[in-house]
Structure 1
């Protein structure tokens, strides 16, 4: 829906990709530096938890407002103002000392992120042709993942050598990449450039008017409900993994970094591997089924990891889990961009981001509470089982949504063949179509 009709604007995609990579690196650099600084200053778990909550809650609470801003205000204006505001907040953070002030400033920083995320996400589909969207999504996924990898590593080095102030000053500079991107990107949306309803639908068959509502699209509702449910179910692994690797498997900090890095490397591989498949899956129903299969593969790898006797064996298992994670990220971006009218994409991406972040908060809370009553190995297995159960619960409504999607256009397969094909798709751990 409302992709560019001319050649894809890869220069603009490159600018968005660079801005996302640099700003993501800055986000993780600041978060890691502040966590280390609070711990070193003697702050307790409550302060660190407050920091994590402050960095996440605005992304959930402001999602509806941020989505509307992304659709109704000029994207250039939003990127420039938000980037300058976040840079200013980081400058103040560099000299803030009291934990309460630090937490308040982090919440302000996250409020800016709540705006820039849907702006950048909604811009990308407008820059490229429909067939080039998977590649563009993979590029953005790669930039964000590399930024997430580099940020904590830089924080560890810089905080150890120079304290927390230098990383925060560098983070302030990183937000200027958003300002530069806003000024240099030729593609713009929102404001007076708000696109009218598309007269020619894209590859999807969802709503194509500015009256779009998420609840009216069963496929997108199923996708967002699934990812939120899975993240809430398995999100505790982010809290449990350090205890599982360091205490249960008796591994070093170096091995901990290697294991967690394996999942991230898998995300990079999966993004590019499944970008090619996403381009060939022109049917939205099949794309959603493939998405469920990839998420199920991630949960299965988490479940298998609970049985390993040593941390070294976790590396290939988590690498495969990351591959599924990266592919699922590309699939959900492509499905959302196909089915949502251009004028509503800011709201759609904000809804997706808010659901993911809200589910992450649930996972973090559950992880901390469950560690008090169960061993890490049991919790890792429980996360995998819980994720698989969530996916099993959404399979029936997904099948109904796919069939309802196909019925009006008059091209459903024969009932027997349809049932067999659907069953085969759902039974396949990783799609090979």
Structure 2
């Protein structure tokens, strides 16, 4: 199958991968630096909260921007601003100033992420969307895989400044994508009206709505572990900064494998929705089992397995969204979907910051995994039933025909 613009597919994937490397490099470096400074769980939770709060708070504005403003303008201006913010972070020593600057950086991510996501179906075309998602997730996974491992090495050898300066350089990839992409996206009011999308709501979508509820609830229960993880690996299991980075990288390596395994077969929407129930359950079980580890190496295979499930989840979610969301409102959809998921992240991070100061890391990890399993058992049946009723993709503007399912391939999570 061919792409609408093969050059733009690979350029878009490369830009996202490089940017993702910088994001994970900086985030992991900040968490490690705060832990080594003795800043405690509150500071770790604060920087994680700052990384998602703008995505939640700015979602209504971002949705309008992405669907109305030229994608080239958004990517170039926001990318340049992110370069400046990262450079400022590299020369800042105050923990709380770093937290504030991380929030500014996340405001840019809140804009560029849905811009990239909405562009992908445009550069790939309906028939090529599945394979384009596989390519995009591969680039994202490579960046996400290299970032944490590199952060562990750089923080241990040079401190915080080096990874933050490298992150500043990676945002130039966003600027370059904005300048070099031939495909440009801007949806006019006439096009939105002509497409009949003014009244489209995700809560009326039979498959995406229960899927959103399941993912949000699962993210909330599992992502407490994001705050606790550094203390669990470093203190409970006695891991080094490099080992912590490698544990984080193991999850991403699993995502890369899982995304391509899921991309190897075409499925209709009924099969995708039901597969997502099983995949989410397996992810939660992997987190639960990690709480029984006694040495760092025991976490690696579980994180590889959990990451593989997560990669397949992202794959199937991306294909469903590309099929079922009208083209004219894709920017708003990705912005608001991301806001809900990151809102769940926000609550999870805040809870983690409170819990890590009151309990030992291991019981928290076990509780997160158990809560994740319970969440899927409670909310999963609704998605299973909705998938059975829907069966095939909706006949929406900008999506594939309801009787011509596209091949299932990879996509990064919103």
TM-score normalised over the length of structure 1: 0.81
Counterpart in 2 of 1:107? 103
- Indicate which of 112, 127, 130 corresponds to 2:126: 130
Counterpart in 2 of 1:360? 345
For 1:386 and 1:314, locate their aligned partners in 2 and report how far apart those are by CA, in whole Å: 19
- Indicate which of 343, 346, 353 corresponds to 2:331: 346
- Indicate which of 132, 138, 141 corresponds to 2:137: 141
- How far the C-alpha of 1:55 sits from its partner, in A, is 1.8
Preserved contact between residue 151 and residue 245 of structure 2 (Cα < 8 Å): no
For 2:200 and 2:120, locate their aligned partners in 1 and report how far apart those are by CA, in whole Å: 19
Q: Secondary structure at the match of 1:142?
A: helix
Counterpart in 1 of 2:267? 281
Distance 1:276 1:245, change over 3 A: same
- Indicate which of 75, 78, 93 corresponds to 1:79: 75
Counterpart in 1 of 2:382? 397
Counterpart in 1 of 2:18? 22
Q: Secondary structure at the match of 2:207?
A: helix
Counterpart in 1 of 2:224? 236
Structure 2 matches for 1:284-303, cutoff 5 A?
A: 284-303=269-288
- Indicate which of 209, 221, 243 corresponds to 2:209: 221
TM-score normalised over the length of structure 2: 0.84
Counterpart in 2 of 1:431? none
- How far the C-alpha of 1:60 sits from its partner, in A, is 1.2
Q: Secondary structure at the match of 1:347?
A: helix
- How far the C-alpha of 1:372 sits from its partner, in A, is 4.9
1:12-37 deviation line (CA, Å, top 9, x unaligned): 11111111111122222333444455
- How far the C-alpha of 1:119 sits from its partner, in A, is 0.2
* Residue 212 in structure 1 maps to residue 205 in structure 2: no
Distance 1:350 1:41, change over 3 A: same
Aligned length: 394
Preserved contact between residue 8 and residue 127 of structure 1 (Cα < 8 Å): yes
Counterpart in 2 of 1:264? 252
Structure of greater Rg? 1
1:374-406 deviation line (CA, Å, top 9, x unaligned): 544433332222112211222343244335435
* Residue 152 in structure 1 maps to residue 148 in structure 2: yes
Distance 1:50 1:194, change over 3 A: farther
1:202-239 deviation line (CA, Å, top 9, x unaligned): xxxxxx73432112113111111111111111112223
Q: Structure 1 stretch 86-95 or stretch 350-359: which is displaced more? A: 86-95
- Give the gaps of 5 or more residues in structure 1: 200-207, 410-433
For 1:68 and 1:352, locate their aligned partners in 2 and report how far apart those are by CA, in whole Å: 14
For 2:377 and 2:38, locate their aligned partners in 1 and report how far apart those are by CA, in whole Å: 44
1:75-120 deviation line (CA, Å, top 9, x unaligned): 1111111111111222333333444433332221111110000000
- How far the C-alpha of 1:351 sits from its partner, in A, is 1.7
* Residue 382 in structure 1 maps to residue 343 in structure 2: no
Preserved contact between residue 198 and residue 341 of structure 1 (Cα < 8 Å): no
- Give the gaps of 5 or more residues in structure 2: 395-414
Preserved contact between residue 32 and residue 241 of structure 2 (Cα < 8 Å): no
